[in-house]
Amino acid sequence: MMDSKKTRLIRFTKMHGAGNDYIYVNTMEYPIADPVSAAIAWSDRHKGIGSDGLVLIDRSPLPEADFSMRIFNADGSEAMMCGNASRCIGKYLYERGLTDKEEIRLLTLSGIKILSLHVTDGLVESVTVDMLEPVFEDESLFLPNRGISKGLFVSMGNPHYVIFTDDVDQVGEMGHILENHFAFPQRCNIEFARIEADGTIRTRVWERGSGITMACGTGACATAVAAAMSGKAGRRSQIVMDGGTLDIEWRESDNHVYMTGPAEFVFDGEMEIDKLQ
């Protein structure tokens, strides 16, 4: 055990949304001075807690929002937004008694997201997140002899490149290459998607800074938008990821993308950290 004079105890909660798992810390009670180092150390699935990254929950510095989130990937890089994490934050805030609101305004680095909680008998069964409007860019990738079809770049507050293919399992081979392709100077999240016979969209994700993840909320939104843009699906889709299914609606009325899915507690724990952290 570390010297108690040099350490302090923090409490954390492990949660997941469709298998996309993060460590959540209420920094209103337990501030984290060095979240980059913490994310790298704690996310290690052999030597740490194990997760896709670290999420910090705090009060919003802006009156327009109720709370704020910061998210750090397993490699320590800070992400702009995470749809699965935002749903988990909604459940955390409500069920831990930090708010009694069933509509929460959450400040992220990509703007304020509205979380609509679906509550039954005091428990949050699912959350719908207004992910705002998608943004498109034309990105060309040059990968000779790789057999990669041209994809569609969609930003949902963070960058995604969606490729429709029968071979979604090539995510393991090609994800890292595409994430770091010169066409994406800030790196990119990569989705390999396949339209199934029942109309669902099977999608596998390589998440920027984390690698293959069980699910990605913004990636599901980007995939649904890309499918609608290319005429492969309508404006409402079920995105089937490794960890579960997310319902995505790209509404014509306001051009916003709405994501609905589950959020689950896994366990609570305590961690001793250096007081300088």
Q: Give catalytic residue positions.
A: 82, 216
d(CA 260, CA 247): 5
What tokens appear for 101 in the block? 């609101």
Whole-number Å distance between alpha carbons of 83 and 45:
22
**How far apart, in whole angstroms, are the C-alpha atoms of residue 274 and residue 12?**
15
70 burial (CB, 10 Å; 0-12 / 13-18 / 19+) is: middle
